[in-house]
Homo-oligomer: A and B are copies of this chain.
Amino acid sequence: MEEKKVYKIDDIARELGVSKTTVSRAISGKGRIGKETRERVLAFIEEHDYRPNVIAKSLAQNKTYNLGLILPADFVETEFSFFKECMNGICEVAERYNYDVLITMGTGENLSHVRRLVHNRKVDGIILSRAVTDPEIPRYLKMQEMPFVVIGPSDDPDIITVDNQNQEASEELTEIMLLKGVHRMALLGGTQSHKVTEKRFRGFVRAYEKNGISMEHSPVILEISNNHVMVMKAVERALEAGVDGILCMDDVICALVMSCLREKNVRVPDDIKLASLYDSERLEYNDPPITSAHFDTKKLGHNAGLKLLDALGETIEEEELALTYQVVLRKSTAVSEGT
Interface residues of chain A, those whose CB is within 8 Å of chain B, are 1, 51, 53-56, 58-59, 64, 66, 69, 71, 73, 75, 77, 80-81, 84, 87-88, 91-92, 95, 100-105, 116, 119-122, 143, 225-230, 232, 258-259, 262-263, 280-282, 284-287
Contacts and interface: CB of A to CB of B under 8 A. Distances in A.
Contact of A230 (B66, B103, B285): B285
B226 A282 contact: yes
A23 to B, nearest CB: 18
Contacts of A84: 75, 80
A1 B145 CA distance: 12
Given A77-B80, A100-B122, A259-B262, 7 more contacts: A51-B119, A55-B121, A58-B59, A80-B80, A87-B105, A101-B102, A227-B286
A59 B226 CA distance: 48
15 contacts: A1-B143, A53-B121, A55-B121, A58-B59, A59-B59, A77-B282, A87-B103, A87-B105, A101-B102, A102-B103, A226-B281, A227-B281, A227-B284, A227-B286, A258-B259
Contact of A287 (B1, B81, B100, B229): B229
Contact of A77 (B104, B226, B263, B281): B281
Nearest to A232: B287
In the complex, the count of this chain's copies comes to 2
Nearest to A120: B54
A89 to B, nearest CB: 10
Given A51-B119, A77-B282, A230-B285, A88 B101 contact: no
Contacts of A95: 104, 116
Nearest to A51: B119
A105 B120 contact: no
A104 B116 contact: no
A258 B122 CA distance: 47
Nearest to A280: B77
Contacts of A282: 77, 226-228
A91 B104 contact: yes
Nearest to A69: B103
A268 to B, nearest CB: 12
Contacts of A80: 77, 80-81, 84
A93 B88 CA distance: 24
Contacts of A54: 120-122
Contacts of A1: 143
Contacts of A51: 119-121
B121 A105 contact: no
A48 B155 CA distance: 35
Nearest to A71: B87
A221 to B, nearest CB: 17
A64 B122 CA distance: 10
A135 to B, nearest CB: 17
A101 B100 contact: no
B100 A100 contact: no
A285 B229 contact: yes
Nearest 8 A-B pairs (CB), nearest first? A227-B285, A80-B80, A259-B259, A91-B105, A55-B58, A262-B263, A51-B119, A228-B286
